[in-house]
């Protein structure tokens, strides 16, 4: 019913192209996250769906109906922003029911209907004991829940959330994420949720749309994104630290096997990828490796050494560490265990990389050769 579809949508601000032929579908009841850097066009997508901004070109379908020319109040879409604008002089209850009392609503609800609806939503969000208070008496996390309640209480066809929990601390974010997602499931509302944080995007979304400079780079499940990033840009957005990209390595055939050789490292290439490289007659490729897929070797390890480097910097990150290693001209980031002790700059270190964990990109298009 509330399936959303964008077809070749273009949004221009003057000469600036904010959205460049964006096409995607969101299924009824689906939770889609939009991941991208600041300025990628995430908010613009939400704004054109809400009707706050007109589209320049393309089609915008909600439940099969073209809504591009409908004014915002008739789109049945609710939007939550990062900055929660609550009315300071109204109680929390009145803030939440505000949109239901709007004269623009086709059907007004009785006060008792309002009460039961607010009760249901605020119960779920655990703010039902705050209804008599004023916004100023609430913490940031509580206020954000109130603004969520205000959007949810309308029971819209579509829920648009623009980085709704980005500015809360980690404890609150982790508390709210499951709440938000479980609530959305129970209500069955189709939802778009933007974020700059890959952990949030992968963690909360059923599917993730990766947006960069107004273009859709990839849309898929977290597993698909992690296992097969469609382009180098996608890889660079995923992981802490993000995927390593080694530019301009040369594939070489030796004794019937293909290797990637570059200053300081040598990795075997699997059959499928070799085929793709040969099909395209690529003489240079870019190589992507997740920092968690690089194994640091101890002197007694039996793994074959795939590259040797020198320690550049060690950064402890709590549950894990990040070791930067200089290999030839490149700096590789390697994920380590939490209490990694080998951290003296310039010390030599040996590493192993499995051929299965290598992602190969075409250096011209920066696209993954396995998909693009």
Partner 1 sequence: MEKLRIENVWKYYRGEKVEAVKNLNLVCQKGEILILLGPSGCGKTSTLRMIAGLESISKGNIYIGGRKVNDLSPQKRNIAMAFEDYALYPPLSVFENIAFPLRAKGLSIKEITKKLKKIAKALKIDDVLDKLPVELSGGQQQRISLARALVKEDIELLLMDEPISHLDSSLKNEIRTEIKRLHIELGNTIVYVTHDQLEAMALGDRIAVMNLGVLQQIGSPEGLYDQPANLFVAGFIGEPPMSFIDCLVLRQNGKFFLGNGTVKFPLPQNMVQSFQEQEKVIVGIRPGDFLLGESKDSNFVSISGKAYFIEPVGDVTVIYLQTEVGRLLVAALGTTAVHENETLTVSFSIDHIHIFDKKTDKAILCKR
Residue 245 · residue 286 · CB < 8 Å:
yes
Residue 371 · residue 228 · CB < 8 Å:
yes
- What CA–CA distance (Å, rounded) separates 178 from 126? 13
DSSP state of 311: E
Residue 223, class by beta-carbon neighbours within 10 Å (0-12 exposed, 13-18 middle, 19+ buried)? exposed
Stretch that binds partner 1, among 15-23, 91-99, 177-185, 271-279 (CB under 8 A): 177-185
Tell whether residue 202 is a contact of partner 1 (CB under 8 A).
Answer: yes
Question: Nearer to partner 1 by C-beta: 184 or 273?
Answer: 184
Question: Nearer to partner 1 by C-beta: 196 or 354?
Answer: 196
Q: How many CB atoms lie within 10 A of CB 156?
A: 20
Q: How far is the CB of 251 from partner 1 (least distance, A)?
A: 26
Q: How far is the CB of 89 from partner 1 (least distance, A)?
A: 24
Question: Binding string to partner 1 for residues 271 to 310, with x set by CB under 8 A, is what?
Answer: -------------------x-x------------------
Question: Nearer to partner 1 by C-beta: 339 or 356?
Answer: 339
Question: Nearer to partner 1 by C-beta: 17 or 240?
Answer: 240
- What CA–CA distance (Å, rounded) separates 138 from 145? 10
- Secondary structure in 3-state letters for 197-260: CHHHHHHHCCEEEEEECCEEEEEECHHHHHHCCCEHHHHHHCECCECEEEEEEEEEEECCEEEE
Question: Binding string to partner 1 for residues 107 to 146, with x set by CB under 8 A, is what?
Answer: ----------------------------------------
Question: Nearer to partner 1 by C-beta: 115 or 181?
Answer: 181
Tell whether residue 191 is a contact of partner 1 (CB under 8 A).
Answer: no
The binder of partner 1 chosen from 322, 328, 352, 363 (CB under 8 A) = 322
Tell whether residue 239 is a contact of partner 1 (CB under 8 A).
Answer: yes
Stretch that binds partner 1, among 51-59, 147-155, 186-194, 332-340 (CB under 8 A): 332-340
Residue 45 · residue 19 · CB < 8 Å:
yes
Q: How far is the CB of 337 from partner 1 (least distance, A)?
A: 10
The binder of partner 1 chosen from 146, 153, 204, 351 (CB under 8 A) = 204
Pairing mode of beta strands 215-220, 207-212: antiparallel
In 3D, which of 244, 226, 260, 248 has the Cα closest to residue 312? 244
DSSP state of 168: S
Stretch that binds partner 1, among 52-60, 106-114, 219-227, 250-258 (CB under 8 A): 219-227
Q: How far is the CB of 71 from partner 1 (least distance, A)?
A: 35
Q: CA dist 63 to 25, 29, 75, 173, 324, Å?
A: 11, 12, 11, 31, 49
- What CA–CA distance (Å, rounded) separates 34 from 205? 9
In 3D, which of 200, 199, 201, 223 has the Cα closest to residue 211? 201
Tell whether residue 207 is a contact of partner 1 (CB under 8 A).
Answer: no
Contacts with partner 1, residue ranges (CB under 8 A) = 37-38, 169-171, 174, 177-178, 181-182, 196-199, 202-204, 222-223, 226, 236-242, 290, 292, 312-313, 315-319, 322, 324, 331, 333, 335, 338-339, 345
């Amino acid at each position: 019913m509330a399936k959303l579809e964008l077809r070749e949508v273009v949004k221009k601000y003057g000469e600036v192209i904010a959205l460049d032929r964006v096409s995607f579908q969101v299924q009824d009841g689906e939770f889609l996250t939009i991941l991208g850097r600041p300025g990628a066009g995430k908010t613009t997508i939400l704004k054109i769906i809400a009707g706050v901004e007109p589209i320049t070109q393309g089609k915008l379908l909600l439940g099969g109906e073209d809504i591009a020319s409908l004014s915002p109040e008739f789109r049945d879409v609710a939007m939550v922003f990062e900055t929660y604008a609550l009315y300071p002089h109204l109680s929390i209850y009145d803030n939440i029911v505000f949109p239901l009392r709007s004269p623009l609503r086709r059907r007004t609800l009785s006060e008792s209907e309002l009460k039961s609806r607010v009760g249901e939503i605020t119960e779920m969000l655990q703010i039902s004991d705050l209804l008599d208070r004023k916004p100023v008496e609430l913490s940031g996390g509580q206020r954000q829940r109130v603004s969520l309640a205000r959007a949810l209480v309308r029971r819209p066809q579509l829920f648009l959330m623009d980085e709704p929990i980005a500015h809360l601390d980690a404890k609150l974010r982790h508390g709210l994420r499951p709440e938000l997602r479980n609530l959305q499931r129970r209500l069955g509302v189709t939802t778009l949720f933007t974020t700059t944080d890959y952990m949030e995007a992968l963690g909360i979304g059923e599917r993730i749309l990766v947006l960069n400079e107004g273009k859709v780079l990839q849309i898929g499940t977290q597993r698909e994104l992690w296992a097969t990033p469609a382009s180098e840009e996608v890889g660079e957005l995923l992981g802490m630290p993000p995927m390593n990209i080694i530019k301009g390595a040369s594939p070489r055939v030796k004794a019937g096997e293909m290797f990637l050789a570059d200053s300081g490292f040598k990795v075997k290439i699997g059959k499928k990828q070799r085929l793709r490289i040969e099909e395209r007659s690529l003489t240079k490729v870019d190589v992507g490796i997740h920092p968690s897929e690089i194994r640091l070797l101890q002197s007694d390890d039996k793994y074959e050494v795939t590259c040797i480097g020198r320690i550049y910097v060690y950064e402890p990150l709590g549950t894990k560490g990040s070791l930067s290693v200089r290999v030839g001209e490149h700096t590789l980031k390697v994920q380590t265990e939490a209490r990694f002790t080998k951290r003296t700059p310039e010390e030599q270190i040996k590493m192993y990389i499995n051929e299965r964990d290598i992602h190969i990109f075409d250096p011209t298009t920066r696209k993954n050769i396995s998909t693009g």
